Amino acid sequence: MSRITRLGLAVVIAALPVVLPAPTASAQDDSAVEQTKEITNYGKDTTRNATVRVSRTANLFDRQQVRVDLAGFEPTWNANNTAVNGTRLQYPVVVMQCRGVDPDPTTCANEERLQWQAGFDVNATPSQRAVAERQSRPGDPSVYPGADLNEQYANLFRAEQLPFAAANGTSYLWRLETRSDGVPFIDEPNLKSFPPTDVTSEGAATINTRNIPIRPDGTNAFLFEVRQRASQSSLGCSDTQACSIVVVPIMDMACLDELSEDKPLPAEALNCGKPGRGPAPGESGATDDVNPFAASQQWHAESNWRNRFVVPISFAPDLQSCDVRDSRPPLPAYGSELVAVAQERWGAAYCTGARRADYLPVYTQGSEYFARRQLTTQLGAAYQQNAVFTSQPVTESPRPVAHAPTAITGFAVAFVVDDGNGAQVQNMTLSPRLLAKLITQSYNPIIVPPAARDGKKPYDGTQSIPDAATAARYYVAHPALFNNPQSLFADPEFADLNPDFALRSGTDALAPHLRNTINPMVFTVESDIMMDITRYVTGDPAARAWLDGQPDPYGMRVNPAWLNLEPTQIYTLLDTWVRPAMPRKEGWLESKIGVLTDRQFVYGGGDTCDEVHGTEYLTKVANVANAAKATALMLLDRRGSATPICTQTIAPVPTGQQAAEPQFPGDDVTQDVRFNETKIAPVDYGKRAQLALTTVAHAALYGLPTARLVNSAGQAIGPAPGTMRSALHAATVDPVTGTVQIDHTRVGADGYPGTMVAYTAVPTSGLDLATAGRYADFIEFMATTGQVPGPTLANLPPGYDPLPPSLVRQAKDAAAAVRAQRGEVPAALDDPVGEDTPPAVDQQAPAANPGSGLPVNAQNADDAKDADPERLAKTEDASSWLARWSIPLLIGFGLLAALVAFCVQVGARPDHPLRRGLDGLLRAVGRR
């Protein structure tokens, strides 16, 4: 390409993008809020000073997690019973989100809204007291007026439920019970006897209210997920509707001695003012028999509500201006999940007008491998993709392809782990070998204590076990993992790396929930991300030796199914051991299996699902997903895809259709019985211990803590801003495509070893010029305006480091080659980080290109490339005279037009600044 052409293009390029206004706030946000005040235990008439700290309160996004630190509160009783979102805790602290900065209980999102108990509070509100006066126990419809039971129930809900006032003015009584015909008891325009319909019992829309157990030292810390209008419109928080995080400590209530008119307290209210039940703070054990007057449901009782902390929060503006009926032609781009989070923002920029264009980029997330196959193969008459996002270069393409740097991010190990004290862990360090142990499923999934093992034999499903006495002589354990630690947290290597991690719980050296084998959430599709994870692991000498069979210093060995693991693009479950089911007793009948009573008890033995399905045990307990986003969401949902539970469904078989005789031993011909491998229920808060392989950007999007990974310099580095750009010093350059890849054996002290670079790969020949121009424009947008980090939805989101200037230039060169469609492939950069940062370590990749020996900078990058004729892949299209000259001619014409326009304007405007300047100059000259 001639230099004139390039200059012309540069002018056009410079004229096209409208630069976004500078971000209003820096990426560093310091909106933490700390409040300390005196709180009163009205039941005991004592006071104490308590402190609430919220890590971030401004410019929040939907579903972002903010850290909440509590200190100085009354320790919680029955603290080990964290079931049902902590509603069985005694003296917990309730944390919820409310609309407004001075909220009352009607604007707080909390499903506990029964007013009866609160009515016995000395300071009760009139409506609370009225319920207590009317009812001797809550929920009896017969004391309410009404023509029939339906009306009585409706009146009961009206009186006894504290309404939740949704943002749209509708009140929800939150208790979903329906009449026999499926219709709710109350469904009036402004009053509903069911929860807001944006709240569901599981998954993404569960309410964010948390009931927090306070440790014996009066503290706790956890991540609280804030909800913006987009995910909870009934709460309605947004950039224009301020909200707050409200913290209500539950303490002893100041209780009435009697109801009005010498009416004695009903029996169920006698617990008012009585202490909470269950084990004292710091003690083990738990009870389900709790005192409701000391539980989270009393958050709106006056004795508790008066002690509330209100921390105002504000949200970033949400961009709702994309229109589903946008008629601009879509510009498809397919591929790597590394860019997914950024694409969401960039896509929004095209809709809000922050980026003006006559096309609309449409990003489709998918495997990089599939992306490259689609870019290079035809199905029918056309190539399947014309633009893909990839980390590894596109090779063996029939069309020449330019690779434009688009995003610096990486893989991450995100985690949601509560320590032995039930507090959410914020920091964790993993070495390549620990990661190797996790992904090779090498922790022992079935622990058989010595007492159940000594002098006994492993049961493999073939031995004859006629009675209980024989069964007691056997046990079941994974044959190869028998001597390995049971979980990551039981591994001494983990304890060495994480000395501050509280593993103990009460008298247990290792808290029970940390003992279970951790099966990390993993995506099982072909992926560059998985390739880099396994490259990182296998590139470490200690991990490599361990994977090759050498035990670690504590004697743990790799699962032999994964021996000699090599880098791989697809995570495959390799272990094939099937857990033998406990042997059936005489006369076993399939429809009676629900419990194991029809089986001889063998320690560690399997259930009927193991027998019927024969699923490999480690496959059954593995958590697999289709995408890195899905693994991150599994952490938020507090469960993966593992199906360790065996359930059964039974349907009777009509008499006429029953088989004459059993189809197999134990077949019950009268019943159709199905055995299902089922997921666990979401894990309780305080007992979570889950890790996920995901991307840095997805972890940042959901505010998930990420592990620090030990790099080749021996430093444990997390994906903090700058650490990924720093890791580029250890990059090797592919001389053909100009793409870089991190050499995990050379990452410097401050480099995050999980760093990856995502490229936009687009052919530089074969596209029509209009489409090519759009792709070029899109590439330029992503590499320039799209690289400004910041808090608004038009900025580069957290989880990405901005491209250094050298990579921006590389992207612009790629865009120019795409726009021209002359088969050109820009030269590889010598130094991916550029001169703005310390120079990279010696290049290991051979410098195949003599032209690239020139220093690469803004002035002569183009010359360097032009000096290298080998870079120009000759194609048919390049020989077209029209193709070669039409654009330059047009550009020249355009420049001419610009000049003419300028002169016309100067000529037409007597007050034109240039004319005035010239006049002034002339006058000055004349005067002299």
C-beta of 388: minimal distance to other proteins in Å?
10
Any contact of residue 466 with other proteins (CB under 8 A)? no
174 vs 369, which CB is nearer to other proteins? Answer: 369
Which strands form 708-710's sheet, in the order they lie side by side?
429-430, 708-710, 716-717
C-beta of 225: minimal distance to other proteins in Å?
14
Beta bridge partners of 241: none
Applying CB under 8 A, among 97, 297, 374, 442 the residue interacting with other proteins is: 374
Nearest to 783 by CA among 750, 822, 816: 816
Q: Give the binding range for other proteins (CB under 8 A) out of 304-312, 370-378, 437-445, 545-553.
A: 370-378
C-beta of 100: minimal distance to other proteins in Å?
18
96 vs 244: CA distance, rounded Å: 8
Q: What share of the chain is helix, strand, coil (3-state, %, to 5)?
A: 30, 20, 50
Q: Give the binding range for other proteins (CB under 8 A) out of 452-460, 486-494, 650-658, 779-787.
A: 650-658
Contact 586, 467 (CB under 8 A): no
State which of positions 23-62 bind other proteins (CB under 8 A): 62
Pull the structure tokens for residue 247. Answer: 């913290």
Applying CB under 8 A, among 4, 7, 15, 468 the residue interacting with other proteins is: 15
Please report, for residues 209, 217, 488, 549, 704, the alpha-carbon distance to residue 222 in angstroms, rounded to integers and kept in the order given. 12, 15, 22, 39, 11
C-beta of 902: minimal distance to other proteins in Å?
8
Nearest to 477 by CA among 455, 450, 516, 447: 447
Applying CB under 8 A, among 116, 153, 305, 369 the residue interacting with other proteins is: 369
244 vs 182: CA distance, rounded Å: 36
C-beta of 917: minimal distance to other proteins in Å?
8
46 vs 886, which CB is nearer to other proteins? Answer: 886
Applying CB under 8 A, among 22, 147, 267, 882 the residue interacting with other proteins is: 882
Please report, for residues 458, 594, 596, the alpha-carbon distance to residue 581 in angstroms, rounded to integers and kept in the order given. 13, 14, 10
639 vs 678: CA distance, rounded Å: 12
Applying CB under 8 A, among 142, 464, 657, 859 the residue interacting with other proteins is: 657
Contact 401, 764 (CB under 8 A): yes
State which of positions 802-861 bind other proteins (CB under 8 A): 821
State which of positions 87-146 bind other proteins (CB under 8 A): none
Q: Give the binding range for other proteins (CB under 8 A) out of 80-88, 99-107, 457-465, 887-895.
A: 887-895
Pull the structure tokens for residue 630. Answer: 């899905």
Nearest to 553 by CA among 603, 497, 593: 497
Contact 118, 128 (CB under 8 A): yes
Applying CB under 8 A, among 334, 702, 778, 781 the residue interacting with other proteins is: 334
DSSP string, 255-299: B-SSBTTTBPPPGGGGGTTSPP-SSPTT-----S---GGGSGGGG
Q: At what angle do helices 769-783 and 340-352 cross, to 10 degrees?
A: 110
Q: Give the binding range for other proteins (CB under 8 A) out of 34-42, 203-211, 754-762, 794-802.
A: 203-211
Applying CB under 8 A, among 190, 197, 284, 857 the residue interacting with other proteins is: 197
**3-state per-residue secondary structure call for 712-781:** CCCCEECCCCCHHHHHHHHEEECCCCCCEEECCCCCCCCCCCCEEEEEEEEECCCCCHHHHHHHHHHHHH
Backbone angles phi, psi at 8, to 5 degrees: -60, -45
C-beta of 770: minimal distance to other proteins in Å?
8
Applying CB under 8 A, among 340, 425, 692, 796 the residue interacting with other proteins is: 340
Where is 89: in which H helix or E strand? none
DSSP string, 380-418: TTEES-S-EEESSPP-S-SS-EEEEEEEEEEEEEEEEEB
Any contact of residue 672 with other proteins (CB under 8 A)? yes
Please report, for residues 438, 811, 814, 857, the alpha-carbon distance to residue 863 in angstroms, rounded to integers and kept in the order given. 50, 16, 15, 10
Any contact of residue 576 with other proteins (CB under 8 A)? yes
Contact track, other proteins, 165-194, x by CB under 8 A: ---x------------xxxx--x----x-x
362 vs 736, which CB is nearer to other proteins? Answer: 362
388 vs 417, which CB is nearer to other proteins? Answer: 388
State which of positions 204-223 bind other proteins (CB under 8 A): 204-205
Q: Give the binding range for other proteins (CB under 8 A) out of 95-103, 198-206, 468-476, 718-726.
A: 198-206
State which of positions 375-434 bind other proteins (CB under 8 A): 377-385, 398
Applying CB under 8 A, among 151, 198, 684, 868 the residue interacting with other proteins is: 198
Any contact of residue 874 with other proteins (CB under 8 A)? no
Q: Give the binding range for other proteins (CB under 8 A) out of 440-448, 568-576, 753-761, 841-849.
A: 568-576
144 vs 130: CA distance, rounded Å: 12
Identity of the residue numbered 147: A
Task: Specify the 3-state DSSP secondary structure of 576.
Answer: coil
Instruction: Specify the residue for token string 């052919």.
Output: 763
Contact track, other proteins, 715-744, x by CB under 8 A: ------------------------------
99 vs 729, which CB is nearer to other proteins? Answer: 99
Applying CB under 8 A, among 509, 680, 847, 904 the residue interacting with other proteins is: 904
Q: Are strands 671-678 and 401-417 parallel, antiparallel or unpaired?
A: unpaired
Applying CB under 8 A, among 551, 835, 880, 921 the residue interacting with other proteins is: 880
C-beta of 529: minimal distance to other proteins in Å?
13
168 vs 550, which CB is nearer to other proteins? Answer: 168
C-beta of 740: minimal distance to other proteins in Å?
25
C-beta of 150: minimal distance to other proteins in Å?
15
Applying CB under 8 A, among 67, 613, 639, 884 the residue interacting with other proteins is: 613
Pull the structure tokens for residue 683. Answer: 């894990």
**3-state per-residue secondary structure call for 129-151:** HHHHHHCCCCCCHHHCCCCCHHH
Any contact of residue 550 with other proteins (CB under 8 A)? no
Any contact of residue 869 with other proteins (CB under 8 A)? no
Q: Give the binding range for other proteins (CB under 8 A) out of 85-93, 141-149, 699-707, 894-902.
A: 894-902
Any contact of residue 601 with other proteins (CB under 8 A)? no
State which of positions 767-786 bind other proteins (CB under 8 A): 767-769
State which of positions 225-284 bind other proteins (CB under 8 A): 229-233
Any contact of residue 563 with other proteins (CB under 8 A)? no
Any contact of residue 624 with other proteins (CB under 8 A)? yes
State which of positions 515-544 bind other proteins (CB under 8 A): 524-526
C-beta of 666: minimal distance to other proteins in Å?
10
667 vs 750, which CB is nearer to other proteins? Answer: 667
Q: How many residues belong to the site for other proteins (CB under 8 A)? A: 132
State which of positions 674-693 bind other proteins (CB under 8 A): 674-679
Nearest to 464 by CA among 329, 586, 592: 586
Length of the chain: 928
Other residues' Cβ atoms within 10 Å of the Cβ of residue 575: 21
Q: Are strands 210-212 and 93-99 parallel, antiparallel or unpaired?
A: antiparallel
Any contact of residue 697 with other proteins (CB under 8 A)? no
